[in-house]
Amino acid sequence: SEGEAGGKETEKNAKEYSFKLAHIAPENHIWNDAAKNLAKELKERSDGRMTVEIYPGGQLGSDADMVQQLETGALDFAFITNAHLTSMSDAFSAWFSPFLFDSYEDVLEASKSDVAKDVLATVDDTGIKAMNYFFSGNRVMLFREKIETPKEMEGLSMRATPSPALQDWYRSLGANPESISLPEVYQAAQTGVIDGMDMDLDAAVTSNFNEVTGYGALTNHMVWPSIMVTNKEQFENMPKEDQKIIEEAMAATSEYATLKRSSQEEEFINTLEDRGMELYKIDESLFTPYTEKFDEKYKSKDPLIKEFIETFR
Amino acid sequence: MTMIIVVLLFIVFLLVGIPISLVLAITSLSYLLLSGLLTAMGSAPQSMFSGIDSFGLLAIPLFMLAGELMNGGGITKKLVNFARVLIGHFRGGLAYVAVIANMFLASILGSANAQAAMMSKVMVPEMEEEGYRRDFSSSLTLASSIVAPVIPPSMLFIIYGTLTGASIGDLFMAGIIPGILLGIGFIIVIGIMGAKQGFPKSQRASLKEILTTSIKVLPAMLIPFTIIYGILGGIFTPTESAGVACIVAFIVGAFIYRELKMKKLPSIFIDTVINTATITFLIVTANLFGFVLSFERIPQLIADSMLGISDNPFVFLLLVNIFLLLLGTVLDGIAALIILVPVMMPLLGIYQIDPVHFGVIICINLTLGLLTPPVGTGLFIVSSIAEVKFENLVKAIMPFLTMAIIVLIILTYWEDAVLWIPSLISD
Amino acid sequence: MKTLDTWIESVEKVISIILIATLALVIATSVFYRYFLNAPIYWATEASIFMMAWLTFVGGSLGLKYKSQASITFLVERLSMNGKRILDMFSHIVILVFLIILLYLSYDWIFSLSSQKSSAMRIPMWVPYLSVPVGLTFSFIHLLNYTIDLVKNNKQEGNAS
Ligand code: NA
Ligand code: NA
């Protein structure tokens, strides 16, 4: 971080920075590509003044840990899941409105909008600053038995990330959301503790979920934002041009990671099908009544969520 | 320089007898202080909390409680008696009973220390009565208790799975063959020693006795049955099984055997909490320790230097085994596991070692630390409960320890023995 | 000091009894609700973890009081009674100093928390987090009491091991 690294002043009065960047995804995950890209962008745009040390794989702890380290300044940047940020500010739930975006390209555009920036600003009164988004892992539904309509989901136990919006979505479908911890998900699906899971294709490939859930509905019902977060005080004390470098580097990374993930979609589908998983679509219109119910509930939660949904619906 | 000072502090604080959990916290803070990483110090409490913020670890208090309830409810005794009427009449019969009963019990309990304490209370006096030497019976009981964390359920596997993300279900399945191999190994040792020394045998049990004992043991068998059926039948996860085991143990002890008295409950609960916390508090401070290590990139440094030695996975595993056995002399089981796993994880990918295979090997290895002097928790527990001199116990345990190391080496190279059952299940 | 120490010990015991019993019940009940009633208890996982956090820090403190936490004693045991006492005093002073630092950090952490809520129950995160400073405070009082006794030299030797 800036203070400890000495913040060396060169003759041009341009500071040098050695940043620490952490995230929870493994080294071969798209998030780590994003991290490396951000490091590269920062270095190039600052003519080598900004270097980044990357801590992948949750080496520095969970989302909660990293947020706390960002607050104290032990850490300079982290990629935090949108799911975690919903526990700090309700407004982030807006991104989990079902069926709001058609493609990675769409959601990337949406992230540049004013209302998306307003959502980021809702954590401004804490010690962290949410800077920008990138998107990886649109949600799909994996099942042990073939489920072809939302109606059939009634009473199913579905593992979903423990964030209220995700769990509410399954509740509104009449399913029972379960928050079994990730290391236990495989076996829970294998033995039937759960009937299915809310997942993304990347994770399905890496964790071999095709072995325990033979059917996958390519619903793409929700997007999966990752938020690039920094220490607020440190950022605001930087010279304007350095702030600009960071903002531009992040914008570039947002674009890079989201589009790269978009291009991998087909490969993941092929891999899963090769392994014998049956992947299929469910007519989106069947979900409309449930989506409306969700919108109704979440619009009344927060004016920003209302504005968000009305902008993109 | 800072690093050297901190390593010295670590050793000194350990040697003067400060609890290991506190040593981990103190060294972590000292390091951050001496390196001027004051901002990172602010993360210490959060990092400690995160150590315990994990669903899988819930199995620790729950299995502890199940064990205490089983002891208080006379369930342990019934299991031992059952094994005894079946095989007690062979030469060295009670010695085999000790091994078999330990394997039974291991299918319920997840901790070697708990099991060693329970079994030495029950087995050692019985064996003495039949004319076994006390140092032999206590060393045998202690040695066979190490199957507890190998045969599922297992606290060590749960902790390993939680630390690494490896499937806890697979780890459980992977422990079955190694657990049985250890049992067979100990039986061979008894056979050899028995032939040399002429072990006693008990009278053959009458058919009536066999029948009544078998009926009496049925409710006790409910517990392993519930756990296995519940997990395989998709009723609950391995972690949840521990909670269900508590309820079943309570019902069997209180209402069927009627040995579990209500007034015993508060002390059972308090003992459970204290025993739990000796582990979980260690996990908490080890998480802080791990945070500092990661922050300073120590695991990567170690990984790099290991790679400098050899890129052969077998050589690597052999080195790891030797290192862990040495480490196990001063630090055992869970403490060592929690400190080491984060350091070693990056290496598994590089050497292409299956995390489940690795988990089973290092868990067995670190459990052996319970049997090795100078610091062997199992040795301490059993020497105090069975009232055997520490030195005598150490001497008597050697044949068993040797056998356990042989089994460990076999498992290190014979990956299939570990991974076969998990592979059956996933097909 | 002594009264405070014993009083805290009783509080810790009561907390322990309630938490461990509730923990087992909650987990078993949640299995029952999911499997038999098909109505999972959505807060069971989170509540259990929070209870375990409190168990850990409160039970850890009890464990320090009863000296039941794992430590390496084979060297210490070779010392004379007097040597043991001096070493014990040294290690307790080291522990107390670091506990003060840790307590300062923990209270600083608790009071500077941003308004974060738990993901299932939506309760403020200070509820589970508070287990850290509370458990450490209890530990501090137990160990301080022990150290005072050591200094006053009226502690039975037997208790020191
Ligand atoms: Na076991
Ligand atoms: Na040892």
Give tens-digit pLDDT for B303-326.
777 778 887 888 888 888 888 888
CB–CB of B214/B84 below 8 Å? no
Interchain CB distance below 8 Å, C120 and A162? yes
Q: Kindly report, residue by residue over A230-272, the tens digit of the pLDDT.
A: 999 999 999 999 999 999 999 999 999 999 999 999 999 999 9
What residues contact residue A127 under an 8 Å CB cut-off, 6+ apart?
Answer: A70, A71, A72, A231, A232, A233, C112, C114
| Whole-number pLDDT of residue B331 | 65
DSSP code at position B131: T
Question: How far is C56 from chain B, CA to nearest CA, in Å?
Answer: 5
Query: How far is Cα A268 from Cα A202, in angstroms, rounded to an integer?
Result: 6
Residues from A in contact with B at Cβ < 8 Å: 1, 3-4, 27, 53, 55, 59-62, 64-65, 68-69, 72-74, 180-184, 186-188, 190-193, 211
Task: Name chain B contacts of A183, Cβ cutoff 8 Å.
Answer: 56, 161-162, 165-168
- Spell out the alpha helix ranges (H) of B175-252: 176-197, 207-232, 238-251
pLDDT category at B333 given cuts 50, 70, 90 is low
Residue-averaged pLDDT of chain C: 89
Query: How far is Cα A155 from Cα A153, in angstroms, rounded to an integer?
Result: 6
Instruction: Look at residue A87 and tell me whether its pLDDT is greater than 60.
Output: yes
pTM above 0.80, yes or no: yes
Residue tagged 């050793």 (tokens): B11
What residues contact residue A170 under an 8 Å CB cut-off, 6+ apart?
Answer: A153, A158, A160, A176, A177, A198
Instruction: Look at residue B254 and tell me whether its pLDDT is greater than 60.
Output: yes
CB–CB of A93/C119 below 8 Å? no
| Ligand found nearest the CA of B326 | 2
Percent of residues, chain C, with pLDDT higher than 70: 95
| Whole-number pLDDT of residue B111 | 74
Peptide linkage before A225 cis (omega within 30 of 0): no
pLDDT category at C161 given cuts 50, 70, 90 is very low
Question: How far is B4 from chain C, CA to nearest CA, in Å?
Answer: 19
Beta bridge pairs of residue A77 = A21, A230
Residue of C nearest to A64 (CA): C116
Instruction: Look at residue B421 and tell me whether its pLDDT is greater than 60.
Output: yes
CB–CB of B45/C133 below 8 Å? yes
| Whole-number pLDDT of residue C20 | 96
CA of C27 to the centre of ligand 1 (A): 20
Q: Kindly report, residue by residue over B388-413, the tens digit of the pLDDT.
A: 888 889 999 999 999 999 999 999 98
| Whole-number pLDDT of residue B84 | 79
CB–CB of A216/A138 below 8 Å? no
| Ligand found nearest the CA of B333 | 2
CB–CB of C122/C75 below 8 Å? no
**DSSP labels, A121-170:** HTTTTSSEEEEEEEE----EEEESS---SGGGGTT-EEE--S-HHHHHHH
Interchain CB distance below 8 Å, A181 and C45? yes
Interchain CB distance below 8 Å, A178 and C34? yes
Flag whether residue C81 sits within 8 Å of chain B, measured between CB atoms.
no
Q: Which of A20, A187, A208 to mutate to test the interface with B (most CBs of B within 10 A)?
A: A187
Residue of C nearest to B329 (CA): C72
pLDDT category at B383 given cuts 50, 70, 90 is confident
Instruction: Look at residue C133 and tell me whether its pLDDT is greater than 80.
Output: yes
Instruction: Look at residue B168 and tell me whether its pLDDT is greater than 60.
Output: yes
| Whole-number pLDDT of residue B332 | 61
CA of B378 to the centre of ligand 2 (A): 8
Q: How many residues does chain B have?
A: 427
DSSP code at position A283: -
CB–CB of A127/A74 below 8 Å? no
Q: Which of A178, A185, A233 to mutate to test the interface with C (most CBs of C within 10 A)?
A: A178
Q: Is A242 left (phi over 0), alpha (psi -120 to 50) or beta?
A: alpha
> Would strands A196-199 and A157-159 be described as parallel, antiparallel, or unpaired?
parallel
Q: Kindly report, residue by residue over A130-171, the tens digit of the pLDDT.
A: 999 999 989 999 999 999 999 999 989 999 988 889 999 999
| Whole-number pLDDT of residue C158 | 45
Mark which residues 39-68 of A lie under 8 Å from C by CB. 64, 67-68
| Whole-number pLDDT of residue B105 | 78
pLDDT category at C124 given cuts 50, 70, 90 is very high
| Whole-number pLDDT of residue B317 | 87
Over range B12-16, report the average pLDDT: 88
Instruction: Look at residue A9 and tell me whether its pLDDT is greater than 60.
Output: no
- Which residues in B321-353 are b (16+ Cβ under 10 Å) and which e? beebbebbebbbbbbbbbbbbbbbbbbbeebeb
Instruction: Look at residue A2 and tell me whether its pLDDT is greater than 70.
Output: no
Interchain CB distance below 8 Å, B48 and C132? yes
Interchain CB distance below 8 Å, A65 and B50? yes
Over range C73-77, report the average pLDDT: 78
CB–CB of C116/A64 below 8 Å? yes
All partners of chain B with 3 or more CB pairs under 8 angstroms: A, C
Question: Longest Cα pair distance anywhere in chain B, in angstroms?
Answer: 74
Instruction: Look at residue B250 and tell me whether its pLDDT is greater than 90.
Output: yes
Rounded to 5°, the CA angle B155-B317-B285 comes to 40
Higher pLDDT, C158 or B175: B175
Instruction: Look at residue B296 and tell me whether its pLDDT is greater than 50.
Output: yes
| Whole-number pLDDT of residue B327 | 77
| Whole-number pLDDT of residue A151 | 92
Over range B108-128, report the average pLDDT: 78
CB atoms within 10 A of CB B11: 14
Interchain CB distance below 8 Å, B47 and A186? no
Over range B223-242, report the average pLDDT: 82
Query: How far is Cα C139 from Cα A129, in angstroms, rounded to an integer?
Result: 36
Instruction: Look at residue C68 and tell me whether its pLDDT is greater than 90.
Output: no
| Predicted complex ipTM | 0.87
| Whole-number pLDDT of residue A1 | 42
| Whole-number pLDDT of residue B238 | 76
Q: Which of A21, A71, A72, A234 to mutate to test the interface with B (most CBs of B within 10 A)?
A: A72
CB–CB of A222/A294 below 8 Å? no
Over range B45-60, report the average pLDDT: 85
Task: Name chain B contacts of A55, Cβ cutoff 8 Å.
Answer: 294-295
| Whole-number pLDDT of residue B60 | 81
Q: Hey, is C72 helix, strand or coil?
A: coil
Interchain CB distance below 8 Å, C40 and A127? no
Rounded to 5°, the CA angle B287-B342-B148 comes to 85
